[in-house]
Structure 1
């Protein structure tokens, strides 16, 4: 059986990282049986990153690569009805979510207004996680933010970038329910990984306020949650 290795859950979600939750949602949508193991140790992970998937001893990293492998290996039809234009739009949406990721991460680990609340939630929810581990992860993230660029932004500029990402996604989604019609596809699993990690995040950030103001984003999050529950 496959095993999904991902970060610990938080605020009722199966993974507090959007990429891990994306793969989790995809597996559930496709009805693939899998085990789910949580942790923060990346020493065995391809590329040194979570999430990763093991399938019959084969380790697979990167959420997009994992989903691509699963679609080929198990002849999944979840995206079969997408036309060429929709497939290109899917790529652009995934790239937008990659940009949103940095702002979400910034709001948790970097912003001094929200870091203490995030830290407390992790420690309260996961007694096996130590303050020293979190501080080491925080310092590592500071380095990533600096080299990626978001760490050089003023907070209001960082959030403006993430809010623009959410606005673009809301505009593309419209009132269709799911991104390309009444049935969810892998694009929707990706959206859910991010939207749920903002919607269910029990800390009031600019990103959460923006999402709550966008009814179609909230509706999408709740509808996908119902599909995989």
Structure 2
């Protein structure tokens, strides 16, 4: 059976990393059986990045490569009816979500306005972690941000990039149904991976304030969450 390795839960979502949650949601929507293993250390992963999968002895990293593999091997038909124009839209949205990722990560590990609350949430939900380990992770991520470029922004300027990305999603996500119709496709899993990690995030960043203020984003997030059979954070299972 396929095994998904990804970061642990936080604030009631199946993975506190948008890419891991994207793959989790895709596999669930596609009906592909899998085991889900939560890990903190990505050293053994392809490219030393999470998420990754192991499937019949093959290790595959990168969320898009994982999804492409699952579509080929398991005959997933989620996107089979999409037009070329819709597929082009999906690629553009996927690349924009890559930009949003850096802002979301920056808001957790670098922005001092929210770092302490994020650190405390991790320590509370995952006692195996230590303050020293998280401090080291913070320093590592700050180096990543600097070389990627987002780390050279002031916090409000970084947030502005993310809010611009969310603005596009707010205009794209319909008031009902999903991106390409009445049924979810892989791009809905991708959007959910990011929006759920903002909406259910129990810290009031500007990103969360934006999402909460847009009913279509909240409805889409909740609809995918329910389709996956996930309980709402704070509710009884």
Question: Normalization by structure 1: what TM-score?
Answer: 0.98
8 A contact 1:109–1:138 mirrored in 2: yes
Is residue 13 of structure 2 the alignment partner of residue 20 of structure 1? no
* Secondary structure class of the residue paired with 1:184: coil
1:99-114 equivalence runs, <5 A: 99-114=99-114
Q: Which runs of 5+ in 2 are unaligned?
A: 230-237
Work out whether 1:194 is the aligned partner of 2:194: yes
- Corresponding position of 1:160: 160
Deviations 1:171-217 (A, max 9, x none): 12232421111100000000000000000000000000001111110
Alignment check: 8 A CA contact 2:32 2:74 kept: no
Give runs of aligned pairs for residues 103-142 of structure 1, distance below 5 A. Answer: 103-142=103-142
What secondary structure, in the 3-state scheme, does the structure 2 residue paired with 1:78 have?
coil
CA distance in 2, matches of 1:39, 1:131: 17
Say whether residues 1:228 and 2:213 are aligned partners.
Answer: no
| Paired position in structure 1 for 2:208 | 208
1:184 maps to which residue? 184
Task: Report the equivalent of 1:60.
Answer: 60
Q: Output one character per residue of 1:94-138: Cα deviation in whole Å (capped at 9) or x when no partner.
A: 001000001100110001111000000000100111212211111
CA distance in structure 2 between the aligned counterparts of 1:14 and 1:126, rounded to whole angstroms: 14
Partner secondary structure for residue 13 of structure 1: coil
Provide the rounded CA distance (Å) in 2 between the counterparts of 1:139 and 1:125: 21
Calculate the TM-score normalised by the size of structure 2: 0.95
Coordinate RMSD, CA, aligned: 0.8
* Residue in 2 that maps onto 1:50: 50
- State the Cα distance separating 1:75 from its structure 2 match: 1.1
Aligned twin of 2:94: 94
State the distance in 1 between where 2:72 and 2:103 align: 32
Q: Which moved more, 1:171-180 or 1:139-148?
A: 171-180
| Alignment match, 1:29 | 29
**Number of residue pairs the alignment of both structures matches:** 229
For residues 181 and 167 of structure 2, what CA distance do their matches in structure 1 show?
Answer: 19
What is the Cα deviation at residue 59 of structure 1?
0.4
Q: What runs of 5+ residues in structure 1 fail to find an aligned partner?
A: none
Residue 103 of structure 1 contacts residue 150 of structure 1 at CA under 8 Å; is this kept in 2?
yes
Matched, 1:79 2:86: no
Instruction: For 1:17 and 1:158, locate their aligned partners in 2 and report how far apart those are by CA, in whole Å.
Output: 19
Write the distance in 1 (CA, Å) between the matches of 2:40 and 2:135: 13
Following TM superposition, by how much is the alpha carbon of 1:8 offset from its aligned partner in structure 2, in angstroms? 0.8
Runs of 4 or more above 6 Å deviation: none
Shift of 1:165: 0.2
Distance 2:38 2:75 in 1: 27
